Amino acid sequence: MRGIVRLALVGVCLFSAALVPQAAGAQPYPARPIRWIVPVPPGATTDILSRLIGAKMAEAWGEQVVVDNRSGGAFVIGTEIVAKSNPDGHTIGIFLTPHVVNPSVMKLPYDTVKDFQPVTLVAIVPGVMVTHPNVPVASIRDVVALAKAKPGQLNYGSPGAMTSGHLSMELLNLMAGIKITHVPYKGGAPAIVDLLGGQIQFVILGPPTVMAHLKAGRLKAIATTAAKRSPGLPNTPTFAESGLPGYDTYEWYGMFAPAGIPRPVLAKLNGEINRIITLPDVRERMLGLGAIPSGNSPEEFTAFVKGEMARWGKVAQQVGLRPE
């Protein structure tokens, strides 16, 4: 994860410098308000980050950035808007991990590779597995042992099918050779309600979502999902440390534009977003939301997206992932 979360300054600088000659004579950008597509409802972490970064972008460029929430359809509705927009940089979108999973589980009205230009990886969000204090587990090793002792009797909740919490738990099932049954909810809040009530035994969510319950002792943290410990839960071990070597998952947020965007415009978008996420106030706000600022060049992000498609495509086939 270290190579992902660091800001790839060398790659970004080389990318931007290489485009300077191409920028001569180009039309000014932006020339009008920018439409920022967010494929989730208002109030979600992705939405909050989009408004935070968009406001800074508008301030720097003197042009309005309009956040347009287009949720639904397993994230496809908003994503399709970006795919079919004019590739002039005035319609962009922030996509999540399901963007690279959907091609393996459903027919899409766009090509995930050919119809988009990756701009930059904005942030990654490690999850944390939590359970009720009455569940007799203290590590991933214990979870695996309990699942094997009670086959078919344990359930986990997620904020919905194809979300990071769903994918992370299915990867656990696959790697550990166990079966904890998925119960999808419409958001993290109702999943927590049932976890507190004992209807389900586990949930993987972003640390800020469960922090109040952890501090009050209503829930207990078992392990965090990424290869490195979460900044928000430094005393909680990772899955790998807790009994499942090689496990490393996280939700990610990335900026995309339609394919065919002029390279000088791509360079300007990339440089500005990477600059904004290094600002102290923005970084502090992002970390408070459980999002670790990242940033990289379009080439690096393109390679990352292809790697994620291969990884989650394999998982989807092996465990039979599908929208629910």
63 and 9 share one domain:
yes
In a domain, 235, yes or no: no
Is position 68 within any domain? yes
Residue range 88-101, pLDDT digits in tens? 999 999 999 999 99
Q: Which of 208, 224, 240 is the last residue of a domain?
A: 224
**Which residue has better confidence, 275 or 17?**
275
Do residue 289 and residue 212 come from a single domain?
no
pLDDT value of residue 25: 47
Share of the chain above pLDDT 90, in %: 83
Pair (103, 29) in one structural domain = yes
Q: Are residues 120 and 259 in the same domain?
A: yes
**Hey, what are 254's tokens?**
């990335």
Q: Do 44 and 120 sit in the same domain of this protein?
A: yes
pLDDT of 18 above 60: no
Q: Are residues 71 and 116 in the same domain?
A: yes
The answer to whether residues 122 and 253 touch, using CB atoms and an 8 Å cutoff, is yes
Q: In terms of domains, do 119 and 184 share one?
A: no
Q: In this predicted structure, what is the pLDDT of residue 263?
A: 97
CA nearest 179: which of 15, 13, 320, 14? 320
Rounded to the nearest integer, the mean pLDDT of the chain is 92
The answer on pLDDT for 205 being more than 80 is yes
Are 107 and 209 contained in the same domain? no
Same domain, 40 and 82: yes
* % of the chain with per-residue pLDDT over 70: 91
Q: How confident is the model at residue 165 (pLDDT cuts 50, 70, 90)?
A: very high
Q: Which two tokens stand for residue 318?
A: 């092996």
Residues 92 and 180 in one domain: no
Q: What's the rounded mean pLDDT across residues 262-276? A: 98
What are the pLDDT digits (tens) for 218-254?
999 999 999 999 998 999 999 999 999 999 999 999 9
Bigger pLDDT: 180 or 72? 180
- Whether 240 is in a domain gets the answer no
Lowest-confidence region among 44-58, 136-150, 309-323? 309-323
Q: Is pLDDT at 49 greater than 60 in this prediction?
A: yes
Q: What is the mean pLDDT of residues 112-125?
A: 98
Is the backbone peptide bond immediately before 231 cis, with ω within 30 degrees of 0? no
Please indicate, yes or no, if residue 153 is contained in any of the structural domains: yes
Q: What is the pLDDT of residue 324?
A: 58
CATH number at residue 199: 3.40.190.10
Q: Which long-range contacts (CB under 8 A, 24 or more apart) does 10-14 make?
A: 11/296, 11/297, 11/299, 11/300, 12/270, 12/271, 12/274, 12/295, 12/296, 12/297, 14/297
Residue 54 lies in a domain: yes
Residues spanned by the domain of 22? 2-124+250-319
Same domain, 213 and 254: no
For 278-303, how does the pLDDT look when each residue is reduced to its tens digit (9 = 90+)? 999 999 999 999 999 999 999 999 99
Same domain, 110 and 159: no
Domain CATH for 23: 3.40.190.150
- Position 73 confidence tier, pLDDT thresholds 50, 70, 90: confident
Q: How many domains does the chain have?
A: 2
- The reported pLDDT for the residue numbered 17 is 44
Q: Any idea what the Cα angle at residue 71 is, between residues 86 and 316, rounded to 5°?
A: 95
Residue that terminates a domain, selected from 173, 190, 224? 224
Query: What's the pLDDT at 99?
Result: 96
Within a domain: residue 64?
A: yes
